[in-house]
Amino acid sequence: MGCVVRLKTKRAIKKPLRAALSRWISHGASSIHGRGVRARVLIPAGTRVVEYTGERITKAEAERREKLRLARGRRGGDDCVYIFELNARHDLDGRTRRNVARLINHSCAPNCRAETIRGRIWIIARREIPPGEELTFDYGFALKEWRLHPCRCGSPKCAGYIVSGWQRWRLRRLVREARALERRTAIN
């Protein structure tokens, strides 16, 4: 399986197509990538800001859509990842206009987290977020695909690639090794 957004807790989504509107946010140009989501008003820590909605699909269907995504990317089209990993059998494809949360970008120092609560995925504020600040969460991408996803979050803690927070120490080692190999190859 290619790239999917990973949650720490994984429970099945029961009602996949709920309206994902929120009074806390607006969306528009991002300083990280393409479009993004910003706080409209001050968001208190712990707020359920917006629900991440979409279509519940099997792993086989997710795999098929991932291949289409990669092919689109090779043709210069939209290669954004919108699929969330739900459980061993199902994923959630958030590629629908109703799902405003799909526009939230990744950061290595995120101000939100994604969490499942009673079978629904919520984006929750990790701290107080002032109006105008861009909302971000940790996409939790797998380490093995690190080269495919350079990170432009701009945080002082940025690891350079979009990889799950708990794997970033391994990522830093891999990046160091890759750079050393490049230097040795350039000298010889």
Binding of Zn ion at residue 151 (CB under 5 A)? yes
Token pair recorded at residue 60: 């086989």
Binding of Zn ion at residue 108 (CB under 5 A)? yes
The answer to whether 114 touches 98, Cβ cutoff 8 Å, is: no
Token pair recorded at residue 77: 């089209």
> Pattern of binders to Zn ion over 20-49, x per CB under 5 A?
------------------------------
Classify residue 11 by burial, with Cβ atoms within 10 Å: 0-12, 13-18, 19+. middle
* Closest to Zn ion by CB, 50 or 153: 153
Q: How far is the CB of 48 from ligand SAM (least distance, A)?
A: 19
| Amino acid at position 99, single letter | N
Cα(56)–Cα(10) distance, rounded to whole angstroms?
Answer: 13
What residue 33 binds from ligand SAM, Zn ion, none (CB within 5 to 8 A, per partner kind)? ligand SAM
90-93 vs 83-85, strand pairing mode = antiparallel
| Amino acid at position 15, single letter | K
Dihedral sign of CA atoms 120, 112, 129, 36 in order: negative
What residue 77 binds from ligand SAM, Zn ion, none (CB within 5 to 8 A, per partner kind)? none
What residue 102 binds from Zn ion, ligand SAM, none (CB within 5 to 8 A, per partner kind)? ligand SAM
Q: How far is the CB of 164 from Zn ion (least distance, A)?
A: 12
Binding of Zn ion at residue 175 (CB under 5 A)? no
Dihedral sign of CA atoms 55, 16, 20, 105 in order: negative
The residue ranges that bind ligand SAM (CB under 6 A) are 30, 32-36, 80-82, 102-103, 105-107, 151-153, 162
Q: How far is the CB of 151 from ligand SAM (least distance, A)?
A: 4
Binding residues for Zn ion (CB under 5 A): 108, 151, 153, 158
